[in-house]
Structure 1
Amino acid sequence: MALTHSTPIPAAPDRVARDTRSVIAGAQQRETPVLRPAPPPAAAEIDRVRAAVSAALTGFLDVQRQTLAAMDESLLPVVDEVRALADGGKRLRPLFAYWGWRGVRGERPGESDAAVLRAVAALEFVHASALVHDDVMDGALTRRGRPATHVGFAARHGDGALAGDGDTFGIGAAILVGDLALVWSDELLRRSGISTAALSRARTVWDTMRTEVTAGQYLDLLRAAGGLPGAQGALTVARYKSAGYTVQRPLQLGAAIAGAGPRAVELYTAIGLPLGEAFQLRDDVLGVFGDPTVTGKSADDDLREGKQTLLVALAEEAADDAGRQLLGEALGNPGAGPEEFEALRALMESTGARAQVEQRIAERTALARTTIADAPLADDARAALDALAVAATTRTA
């Protein structure tokens, strides 16, 4: 059903801008919230959406492959790289957008299910673009169990006995692959088949989302250089680099396609901000403590790259002089080895940093799930969104 101005909604969650210390202080002394099990949603429906998104991406890329091949056969590795990036992942962003649409579409005639599925599939290209550019900036070596895009193209340079520096070639190619994925995100959305009116409404959210994620990438770069210090800086980066475009904006994109009013926007902010933050914090934990055979990347990469996550900020705040010296010498040091990285992990455990981050993940997830449970949404969408909230924050990859 569509939300109107008179529809009551739960209060919006606290903003990232609040004093982080008051949120996380004493987290180890508080009992972790117990999350209710997700009701058995239409798992088959969620799987159907994933399959439809994959089919939309495949069909679109098949056409683009023909287009690039007609230009020159040497362009095929470019489209094949975008395809490889789009083939991975859990389709969380399209899933949130689709169920955001289903939650508020009501009974009135509107967009076809197939057109909406094609429209939300475009989010995967935005995500692919962000991943490629992020890996270039971080100097990451792997992504989803395969070489990062810039690494793969550097190897291709060597295999082809091309002139010039291979690393420079790989970085340049990766930037262009990421740019092309972003261009194609626009094209797929525009050609999805949703009505002109729905497309116009969707563009407002779409433009905001893409601006935020690009700005978030810069904030991440700035923080790595010493700007935006402390726990609050880490949460600011997480909010704009990942949390917004993972949950909040996809939900609002679905609401815009449905033609829902401003109350739906408020509701989806109340759900999306805490859940998106919890998603990113889980990603940070997995980047340091995850199983490489499951995550598809080394558990040392984030430490070697010196990612300034909330884990790092909290560990630094609580560490003694020796711990701070370890952080200064090993974090972000490409010459550090397994012993140093294990020592960094032990520091995050002993200072309580990991426990505090886990506590915050649980609290933010519980807040989002409570809002979902109380929200005036269609029953199938409520069940699906609750299941997605659990999946996004308890995942192992």
Structure 2
Amino acid sequence: MTSPLERAGLRPRVDKALAAFLTTQRSRLLAIDEVLADIADALDDFVLLGGKRLRPAFAYWGYRGAGGSDSEQVVAAVAALELVQASALIHDDLMDRSDTRRGEPAMHRRFAARHAAAGWGGSGEAFGDSAAVLLGDLALVWSDELLHTSGVEPADLARARPVFDEMRTEVTAGQYLDVLTVVTDDMSTARASKVARYKSAKYTVERPLLLGATLAGAPASLLRAYSAYGLPLGEAFQLRDDVLGVFGDPTQTGKPAGDDLREGKRTYLVAAAHAALGADERAELTTRLGDPALDDAGIERLRALIRDSGALARTEERITELTTTALGALGAAEVEGEARGVLLELAHAATRRQV
């Protein structure tokens, strides 16, 4: 069966639009200075050699479900979401001090290694951090440029711009709430849910759907239906991500096992465990969580605490509840043509994945 990410040949078309855009941007960088080839290479690798293209898929099928006609211009416009994603991931890895992303060195590690290989002066770690900040910023700037040079009609872009702008504000606010939650040691499930909603859920599903719908000139009723579908589904997507961050297979996820525990992430999964554990085990969870030196045995102990508390089962139940709510909203929405079936398949792809 064809993956919903491949319907209408979407994934290779998104890749083609990104590759063409990045080729143009490479020329612009090299015209400034040839040493910027390192920047172009890094963003090419990060953007073109990984990613599921889930956000462009939701945007494209949101557009088609609102009656929009297929075009390469629209594909280019929704491809801009991959550059927003690249920015968020590069910055997230830096803030979390992650070593890898998709099985390769995280951006700050890549440029620290470049510094070491070249034998440059100063701190390699500081250089890597600086490069990651700048590349993440550049990807975000380029997302805007790809959207407004996509070839979509100006009137359609004007309708969609507020959605795109709001999405980028929300994900940045969500990232801040994430780091704030760690330092304030907020273990509530309410806070964890809000972080998940703004850091990931809205910009993964709801906002891409609304971006596509507004490009197509969708009525307010469909925009409301897309939000009713997209918000719970996006949160379910993030909860699945949280489960994989603790219990996932590193050969599938591309990140070391238990990284979220070493980073001290206050996810819904962890918050649910904290609420359910007895005093001694809760203290152990709190003490071990966020220890960057946590070894395999320590990771396994935290996994056992989470599992035995019932938090893993509760999180799986929550994923099911949210997905059911989303699918109910989709069933009631006036979605046109093939898009309804693809959005149904995308919901399952987002919540049942192993990576």
The TM-score with structure 2 as length reference comes to: 0.97
Q: Matched residues in 1 for 2:190 and 2:4: separation? A: 37
Match of 2:157 in 1: 199
Matched letter for residue 346 of structure 2: L
Q: How many residues align?
A: 354
Matched, 1:50 2:8: no
Q: Matched residues in 1 for 2:2 and 2:28: separation? A: 40
The structure carrying a bigger helix percent of its residues is 2
Structural RMSD (CA): 1.5
Match of 2:60 in 1: 98
In the TM superposition, residue 321 of structure 1 has moved relative to its aligned partner by 2.5
Matches within 5 A, 1:271-282: 271-282=229-240
In the TM superposition, residue 45 of structure 1 has moved relative to its aligned partner by 5.4
Match of 1:349 in 2: 307
Q: Matched residues in 2 for 1:266 and 1:142: separation? A: 38
Structure 2 spans left out of the alignment, 5+ residues: none
Higher relative contact order (CA 8 A, sep 6+): 1
Q: Matched residues in 2 for 1:209 and 1:262: separation? A: 18
Q: Matched residues in 1 for 2:22 and 2:239: separation? A: 32
Q: Matched residues in 2 for 1:68 and 1:279: separation? A: 36
Q: Matched residues in 2 for 1:321 and 1:47: separation? A: 54
User: In structure 2, which of residues 46, 66, 74 is the aligned counterpart of residue 116 of structure 1?
Assistant: 74
Matched letter for residue 218 of structure 1: Y
Q: Is the 8 A contact 1:243 1:280 kept in 2?
A: yes
Match of 2:25 in 1: 64
User: In structure 2, which of residues 230, 250, 265 is the aligned counterpart of residue 307 of structure 1?
Assistant: 265
Matched, 1:283 2:257: no
In the TM superposition, residue 379 of structure 1 has moved relative to its aligned partner by 2.9
In the TM superposition, residue 373 of structure 1 has moved relative to its aligned partner by 2.3
Change (3 A) 1:385 1:41: farther
Cα deviations across residues 46-81 of structure 1 (Å, max 9, x unaligned)? 261111000000011111111111211211111221
In the TM superposition, residue 328 of structure 1 has moved relative to its aligned partner by 2.4
In the TM superposition, residue 224 of structure 1 has moved relative to its aligned partner by 0.9
Matched letter for residue 80 of structure 1: D
Structure 1 spans left out of the alignment, 5+ residues: 1-39
Q: Is the 8 A contact 2:5 2:346 kept in 1?
A: no
Q: 67-76 vs 157-166, which deviates more?
A: 67-76
Q: Is the 8 A contact 2:5 2:11 kept in 1?
A: no
Matched, 1:360 2:321: no
- The sequence identity of aligned pairs, in percent, is 54
In the TM superposition, residue 393 of structure 1 has moved relative to its aligned partner by 0.3
Match of 2:34 in 1: 73
In the TM superposition, residue 214 of structure 1 has moved relative to its aligned partner by 0.6
Q: Matched residues in 2 for 1:44 and 1:154: separation? A: 34
Indicate the SS of the match to 1:213.
Answer: helix
Q: 241-250 vs 258-267, which deviates more?
A: 258-267
Q: Matched residues in 1 for 2:233 and 2:199: separation? A: 14
Change (3 A) 1:227 1:43: closer
Q: Is the 8 A contact 2:186 2:266 kept in 1?
A: no
In the TM superposition, residue 242 of structure 1 has moved relative to its aligned partner by 0.3
Matched, 1:84 2:45: yes
Match of 1:320 in 2: 278
Matched letter for residue 55 of structure 2: R
In the TM superposition, residue 261 of structure 1 has moved relative to its aligned partner by 2.0
Matches within 5 A, 1:137-152: 137-152=95-110
Q: Matched residues in 2 for 1:228 and 1:306: separation? A: 11
Q: Is the 8 A contact 2:205 2:233 kept in 1?
A: yes
User: In structure 2, which of residues 331, 339, 344 is the aligned counterpart of residue 373 of structure 1?
Assistant: 331
Q: Is the 8 A contact 2:76 2:147 kept in 1?
A: yes
Q: Is the 8 A contact 1:112 1:194 kept in 2?
A: no
Q: Matched residues in 1 for 2:15 and 2:184: separation? A: 40
Q: Please identify runs of 4+ aligned residues in structure 1 that moved more than 2 A.
A: 40-45
Indicate the SS of the match to 1:122.
Answer: helix
The TM-score with structure 1 as length reference comes to: 0.87
In the TM superposition, residue 278 of structure 1 has moved relative to its aligned partner by 0.2
